[in-house]
Structure 1
Amino acid sequence: MRFRVLITFIFRRYGLWISLVLLFLFGIWVVRSWKHDNMDWRFVKAFGINLPMRYGIHGIDVSRHNDRIDWKQVRQLRADGVRLQFVFIKATEGATMFDKHYKKNWREAKKSELRRGAYHFYHPTRDPLRQANNFINHVTLETGDFAPVVDFEVINGQSDETVINGLRLWLETVEDHYNVRPIIYTNRNLYQRYIKGHLDEFPLWIADYSTKHLRAYDDDKLYLWQHNQNGWVKGIKGRVDFNVFVMDDDRMSEICLP
């Protein structure tokens, strides 16, 4: 209805021919905008998913669930001109658990010339200080590696205060040890309830499988976006999470060890 009123107004104000020209130019703008949005995505058959090609740095994350990885095949893989450039590897979980494939994955990722990052799966019911020390005791980082990551996906029935304070203790303990601010990985719902307004100073890696939601996050803190969990990579068993670096390329150093 509003569109019809607008068209009537244009015709009355500018006359038939000028109105047609204006509508024609408006149509061109709409089509070009639509094409631009669609060109941001390209279907890459080798990965089996749509990649957001508006970003130039693509990577994955892996854990023991991917079993033994053939890093030689991963290193050689190219798909429609896209090369994987980074990988996050699960290292620890809770206060005592350690990923059995971490050491090999960590070593082979470097040989494959992929930028590496290590992450810890956080349990709010476990002592956050013991969880931080579990990560510190198993993970040695080098210059150029990503900052440590806390993987925050569950609340286990804990109060908001317990969750937020525990996360902060883990983050601050790990930051003091590695002398770099850790990255928070989480999903949209947990971000809105526990991170936003409470832990905003930490870099954010968001798992959100809809492009419509990216504007909901602090643009100055959102560095990484996990956009798909159903990718396929030759050399890796099972489905693989795909991520992109959403900042300008020259800002990568902001979330890496100096």
Structure 2
Amino acid sequence: MKRRDYQPIYDNTFRRRHRYRRWFVVLILVLLVVGSGWGWYRWDAHQRAQVASYPVRGVTVNQDSGYLDFQQLAKSETFVYLQATSGATYTDDDFSDNYSRSQGADIQVGVAHTFSFTTSARRQFNHFKSTVKRNSGTLPIMVAVSYYGKYNSNNTEMATQGQKLKTLVRLLSSHYHQGVVIFASKSVLTQFVKPVLPNQDYWTAGGKLSGHSQQVKLIEYDANGQVTQNGQNLPVAKSVFNGTRRDWHAFTK
């Protein structure tokens, strides 16, 4: 009699269970992807609706942003800030070229400096002045402040650093007569900036688009934003002005 090949019942059962488990895992993964995509879509739609409620919008650019067409940028943005200097020695490679090309566009231009805890206010001011010269734009000068290294809220010497920042703001304001706005995160503004510059105009970094006081003039809502020009995505930081167009005109006088 010919031998018949019998498969154990438990082997077939195991295979079916394994197949069902695999399809169940695939289904869960599909649902997670779809759910994440839908969640992101709703968040993005909400973010775009919020941004649209602010009539004055703009970007901050530096040498990493690449070659920008400022005429094209002016079609969607009201203002642009150009990174110029940092500390007492660093200069953005594209500042001079960006500033020259921005002058032919219908867009308001501001200039930015990054504050250094390790160099004096006078040296930073002299470096900014020698780099920017009279090309300081028409907007208040932006001074960016952020903690780094040992310079944070736990450092007992930060009060001295605060006086340095205050001196730098005074030097810039008296020389350029166009005001200064301090760019920083909410925590840095609260802990470090406000104690020495309580009446200064502020620009929040990475903050939410709502719930800010009138002292917060600008809000950065996307530090890793992009603008598309000639088929290329160029990295920029995106911000809005916290007020009406009438408020904007008062801010830029």
Aligned-partner SS, 1:234? strand
How far the C-alpha of 1:209 sits from its partner, in A, is 3.8
Output the CA distance in 1 between the equivalents of 2:149 and 2:118: 7
2:236 match:
240
Match of 1:189 among 184, 187, 190: 187
How far the C-alpha of 1:226 sits from its partner, in A, is 0.5
1:65 match:
64
1:53 match:
52
AA partner of residue 56 (structure 1): P
TM superposition score normalised by structure 1: 0.70
How far the C-alpha of 1:140 sits from its partner, in A, is 4.3
Output the CA distance in 1 between the equivalents of 2:224 and 2:117: 27
CA distances 1:51-110 after superposition (whole Å, capped 9, x unpaired): 51221011100001113323344345xxxxxx2111000011110221111111112222
Structure 1 runs not aligned, ≥5 long: 1-37, 44-49, 77-82
Q: Does 1:90 align with 2:88?
A: no
1:22 match:
none
Aligned-partner SS, 2:78? strand
* 1:158-237 map, 5 Å: 158=151, 159-211=157-209, 214-215=210-211, 217=212, 219-235=213-229
> Which deviates further from its counterpart, 156-165 or 172-181?
156-165
Output the CA distance in 2 between the equivalents of 1:63 and 1:144: 15
* Aligned-residue identity in percent: 20
AA partner of residue 248 (structure 1): T
How far the C-alpha of 1:222 sits from its partner, in A, is 1.1
TM superposition score normalised by structure 2: 0.72
Structure 2 vs 1, CA of residues 175 and 72 (structure 1 numbering), >3 Å: closer, same or farther? closer
AA partner of residue 220 (structure 2): Q
Structure 2 vs 1, CA of residues 252 and 72 (structure 1 numbering), >3 Å: closer, same or farther? closer
Output the CA distance in 2 between the equivalents of 1:252 and 1:144: 15
CA contact (8 A) 2:61 2:236 kept: yes
Structure 2 runs not aligned, ≥5 long: 1-42, 152-156
Aligned-partner SS, 1:220? coil
CA contact (8 A) 1:69 1:237 kept: no
